[in-house]
Structure 1
Amino acid sequence: MKVEEGFQIVPYDESHPYTKDTVLPQLLNRLLPHKYLSEIESDLTEFGDFIVHHCRNIGDKVAPPQITQFNHLGRRVDRLHTSEGWRELKDIAVREGIVAIPHERKQEEFSRIYGFTKVLLFAGDSHEVLCPMAMTDGVARVLELSGTEQMKREIRSRLISRDSSLAFTAGQWMSERPGGSDVSQTETKALSITSTSNSVESDKRGSLYLLDGFKWFSSATDSNISVALARTGPFASGSRSLSLFLVPLRLPLLPQPSPDPTSNGITIHRLKNKLGTHALPTAELSLNNTKAYLLSPLNEGVKTITPVLNITRLYSAFTSVGCLRRALDIARSYALVRQISIPGGQSPLKDVPLHMTVLADITITYQALTHFAFGIAALLGKSECGKATGNEEARLRLLTPVLKAFASEKAVSAMEDCMTCLGGLGYMEEVGIGRLIRDCLVEKIWEGTVNVLVLDMIRASNKTFTVFMESISCPKEQIQDLKLEESISAINHSLNTLKEAFKPPLISAPFVQRLLLFLLGHTTASIYLFEHVIWGYTEQGSEGHWEIDRNVFKRYVGTSLENLCIDLEKLMRIADRKSRSKDDTEIVYGIKPIASKL
């Protein structure tokens, strides 16, 4: 039989990423004032069209970067070559205002919601271009808060530009070989040279230093600038002797960066050979008398770089959710056209109850993560515009690491289910779900693993639970009208369980802490889903989607909270915590062999 003979799989067409999404249009209708929604809706629709008809073709031109370390004369050149597709996707992100929108603030505090909507739409087709965009966004915020006027005028203006011929991108160099996420072991040293002949330049952009060290994991190696931590005090002081620096990758930086990649003493040891994010140039960099400008107060680098981490963690969460959106859309579209045999004839997968149960569960996860992510984006927008209350600032601080960890864990698992919904076809590279999974696995690691984020959550947990209780307050008659008493009872039970678990000494028990984060994540997502149900019921009535939203909320609460509460309560009853930790070690490495009597 010839390949063109016999059965042929019917092609499927993915739907519009914005107008046909199951959650975004209604969610924005709730979160945004009408005047802002009417301003941006056409742009989101046009961007969705552009993604479907153009971005996916550009993806065919994306390839891993390469490096030429030496030229034919043996001179060190370190020329980084990125693919045409990667460069085009970066230009699209700049022109679409991925970084510009939240800094232009034309929609005031709602600009963050607008910007992250574009991130969500673009994530599944971006090939991780959003990684340098995240760092660029974060560095622009740090410069706004801590940069000199010259830095803001010369550099920040380019970081937030929509002109791809002028725009800068930024990197973030924190990870080093001794510490990974533990920056207290940073080896890179900084030496002040402000008193030299460069003092005129230093006075304009800041105090000039020379950096010497090795950055083990530097994403966005093709950027124009980076921020880096370096030691300005004794090593014994750990993170308390680190300062933050602005590092040009090439000198001169302006009016145009030098074409010589090694002009600022930065050499590329090698490009990382990664499981995913293959298009993203990630390298090991050596800094040798590299000129940099002091950006933080002396020895306050960790505090100063915090806004970068908050923003990049949100990008990480939205990338996870956006890639899940794309994988789910592929699975939904396939279910419309794939015919299977059933008793009595043929049927599309969408009419097979067992298959739709799986897709419904994935959709519920996607909707919960989306509501959670936009809830935190709204808080960030308020914070940046000076409109957040004290309680909202506390929630933002607590929930940012929770969202990042929670979204990365749940999205990848749901994407695996999307892949299986296509059977063997889903495992093929051409479909794209495999790439989405590989790329999103890094979101479980980048900007902190779950364990790192758990510890960050605990540090921020002082003012949390009264805020949560306030956020679910609602007239009892509405809960009764919507038949939500059981679900609200489950949320209250979860909140009470969390209250007890966050108290000393339980909060310091390692075997409780991870489960705490996931229960807090599920509870927060449930609360945001609940808010949307109430809004739909009160604002839109029978014309809205509130009945569907109510079913999503009830099923999410029913499948997520109850078992987690039971598991956490069991762990909370363990009295001998030292024995539990000893048991864990023995399980992992085995019990010591019994000594021989001979």
Structure 2
Amino acid sequence: MTNQAPPLVGYDVFSSDRALAEAVGRHVAPEALDGAREELTVLGRSAGSAQVLRWGEQADRNPPRLVTHDRYGHRVDEVDFHPAWHRLLGKAVTSGLASAWGRPSGHVRRAAGFLVWTQAEAGHLCPVSMTHAAVPALRADPELAAVWEPLLTSRVYQQGLVPVREKSGALVGMGMTEKQGGSDVRAGTTRAEPLGSSGAYALTGHKWFCSAPMSDAFLVLAQAPGGLSCFLVPRVLEDGSRNTFLLQRLKDKLGNRSNASAEVEFAGTWARRVGEEGAGVRTIIGMVAATRLDCVLGSAGLMRAAVAQAVHHCAHRRAFGALLVDQPLMRNVLADLAVESEAATVLALRLAAAYDADTPEDRALLRIAVPVAKYWVTKRTTPLVAEALECLGGNGYVEESGLPRLLRESPLNSVWEGAGNVQALDVLRALRQGGTLDAFLREVGRARGADHRLDAAIRDVLTQLADLDGVEARARRLAGRMAVVLQGALLVRWAPPEVADAFCASRLGGDWDGVFGTLPITPGLAAVVERARVAL
């Protein structure tokens, strides 16, 4: 057999990703850096191993199965997963990906691990993301947090539905959207009736999307007497009986097939209120923001996986007398893909670092930059993966290459946790809150004067913000422009000159038509491609 690329397997996904490794070195506190690198290297070697990649393939090819009743006719409402799913999920939990809380530089370390482990298989990271993100919401009720937070931050994966007192680790899912409302969660009709004055309620209603239905508990929104409120719904009650949690069906999804997304009915379901009545959105918004950042991280991971495959293939495949990677047009395509991937990684890790810093300025930056990044990075993923697949030609279109699975997965993060319009409009809401625009301008201003195209793009954003007539119809344009300006500023500060120059010339300077492979020709493109290559 000649002229075939060897399998991209048996490598360290973390260390081979120069942009990611540099971001970890930049953002992790010095006293935690050695430990972070060591744990990420272990995770990276596992993610690139033949065994784990096989688990990812098995989990995707064997989707979960709904089991409503046991053999005796008792209602159980369970979901049966392939063993590969449990192996992947267990590794994610024991590696600390389900919690960033309570350790130095925890958010950056977890973000880097999440990006790495996404490349093994993305679907099982849904409950991982929800569990991590539930902690801020539960802290609205110190009594609940005292019980649940130690379990959610545990590195023990314990499958099976038993009372929480019998568990060493737990996972949390979420249910917000309903048939009639979708992203308009305030239109939900699920009712919550108080059961005395203890904070317990009985829920009646239906959730159109319930994430991770085999979790130990769920954060849901329902209409209480005092308005839309947040509730914790356990799957198993304290006496060991099953809570009423009626799984109607599992969604048949385009991608993300290893993961179960369910429709669930509540019929007198026991729940505990989290936070004040009427403050449901305010209580759960911290969870939403954290899961939106995970959408950015997941998309960056998919991008990196696709770029690594494309560059690897072209570095070994010959056509018309030369390696593909050495041919000018293919080099342009690969460099363009690599620049897009690095920009996504640098932005995602910068936002994770803002979570760790937790200063008023960083919180203001997160308020505006998370929806900006969620809008842009998740939307760029599908065209990037499709172009990377094309680099392999017909080899990329067959399932064995792994690229079709990445392509099916690629639109998901743009849809979940608020689709494009929701994010763009949230950017406008953020701009109306004090301090957010100043935080954004300070962040991009740190690179001012280093590249004339970036300076011009910053002025363009300010011009757009000065004219707010009809801004809602321009919200996507504004969010996208803010995203590339922020990415450009970060790359100018931290990326190699050839990467920053290619990004600024194309995304900011206008010498690019939006199709990958149309970068301005510079001597640095070969270095950009080599930087993205995995060395086996």
- Would you call these one fold, judging by a TM-score over 0.5? yes
| 1:269 has 2:262 as partner | no
Q: Distance in 2 between matches of 1:226 and 1:457?
A: 28
Q: Secondary structure at the match of 1:175?
A: coil
- Name the residue aligned to 1:391: 361
| Alignment check: 8 A CA contact 1:319 1:440 kept | no
Corresponding letter in the other structure for 2:371: P
- Name the residue aligned to 2:47: 51
- Name the residue aligned to 2:209: 217
Cα deviation code 1:77-98 (max 9, x no counterpart) = 3232111111111111111011
Q: Of residues 453, 456, 461 in structure 2, which corresponds to 1:490?
A: 453
Q: Of residues 15, 25, 29 in structure 2, which corresponds to 1:19?
A: 15
- Name the residue aligned to 2:153: 160
**Pairwise CA distance, 1:317:** 0.6
TM-score normalised according to structure 1 size: 0.79
Q: Secondary structure at the match of 2:18?
A: coil
Corresponding letter in the other structure for 2:281: V
Q: Distance in 2 between matches of 1:467 and 1:86?
A: 41
1:201-212 pair list within 5 angstroms: 202=198, 207-212=199-204
**Pairwise CA distance, 1:465:** 4.2
**Pairwise CA distance, 1:45:** 1.1
Q: Secondary structure at the match of 1:103?
A: coil
Q: Distance in 2 between matches of 1:355 and 1:422?
A: 11
**Pairwise CA distance, 1:510:** 3.6
Cα deviation code 1:128-173 (max 9, x no counterpart) = 2111111101112222x21233x22322211111112322111111
Q: Of residues 106, 109, 129 in structure 2, which corresponds to 1:111?
A: 106
**Pairwise CA distance, 1:74:** 4.7
**Pairwise CA distance, 1:474:** 6.0
For the pair shown, which has the larger CA radius of gyration, 1 or 2?
A: 1
| 1:41 has 2:37 as partner | yes
Q: Secondary structure at the match of 1:218?
A: strand
- Name the residue aligned to 2:442: 470
- Name the residue aligned to 2:293: 314
| Alignment check: 8 A CA contact 1:175 1:181 kept | yes
Q: Of residues 384, 389, 394 in structure 2, which corresponds to 1:419?
A: 389
- Name the residue aligned to 2:76: 77
**Pairwise CA distance, 1:194:** 2.5
| Alignment check: 8 A CA contact 1:494 1:565 kept | no
| 1:194 has 2:196 as partner | yes
1:192-591 pair list within 5 angstroms: 192-195=194-197, 202=198, 207-233=199-225, 241-252=227-238, 258=240, 263-342=242-321, 347-383=322-358, 388=359, 390-462=360-432, 463-473=435-445, 484=450, 488-503=451-466, 505-506=468-469, 508-533=470-495, 549-563=496-510
Q: Secondary structure at the match of 2:292?
A: helix
Percent of aligned pairs with the same amino acid: 27
Name the Cα RMSD after superposition.
2.3
| Alignment check: 8 A CA contact 2:369 2:440 kept | no
Q: Secondary structure at the match of 2:352?
A: helix
Cα deviation code 1:574-593 (max 9, x no counterpart) = xxxxxxxxxxxxxxxxxxxx
Q: Distance in 1 between matches of 2:4 and 2:467?
A: 59
TM-score normalised according to structure 2 size: 0.88
| Alignment check: 8 A CA contact 1:176 1:186 kept | yes
Deviates more, 1:155-164 or 1:173-182: 155-164
Q: Distance in 2 between matches of 1:60 and 1:519?
A: 37
- Name the residue aligned to 2:123: 128
| Alignment check: 8 A CA contact 1:327 1:433 kept | yes
**Pairwise CA distance, 1:440:** 2.5
| Alignment check: 8 A CA contact 2:190 2:206 kept | yes
CA 1:356–1:566 in structure 2 vs 1: closer, same or farther (change >3 Å)? closer
Cα deviation code 1:431-490 (max 9, x no counterpart) = 1111112122111110011100111110011434443443355699xx6xxxx5xxx332
**Pairwise CA distance, 1:20:** 1.5
Cα deviation code 1:46-67 (max 9, x no counterpart) = 1111112232122243121111
CA 1:223–1:564 in structure 2 vs 1: closer, same or farther (change >3 Å)? farther
Q: Secondary structure at the match of 2:229?
A: strand
Q: Distance in 1 between matches of 2:254 and 2:25?
A: 39
CA 1:457–1:474 in structure 2 vs 1: closer, same or farther (change >3 Å)? closer
**Pairwise CA distance, 1:252:** 3.1
Cα deviation code 1:347-389 (max 9, x no counterpart) = 2222222211111100000111111111111111222xxxx1x
CA 1:243–1:497 in structure 2 vs 1: closer, same or farther (change >3 Å)? same
Corresponding letter in the other structure for 1:187: T
Paired positions, count: 499
**Pairwise CA distance, 1:29:** 2.1
- Name the residue aligned to 2:136: 141
CA 1:448–1:331 in structure 2 vs 1: closer, same or farther (change >3 Å)? same
| Alignment check: 8 A CA contact 1:18 1:24 kept | yes
Q: Which gives a bigger RCO, structure 1 or 2 (Cα 8 Å, sep 6+)?
A: 2
CA 1:473–1:138 in structure 2 vs 1: closer, same or farther (change >3 Å)? closer
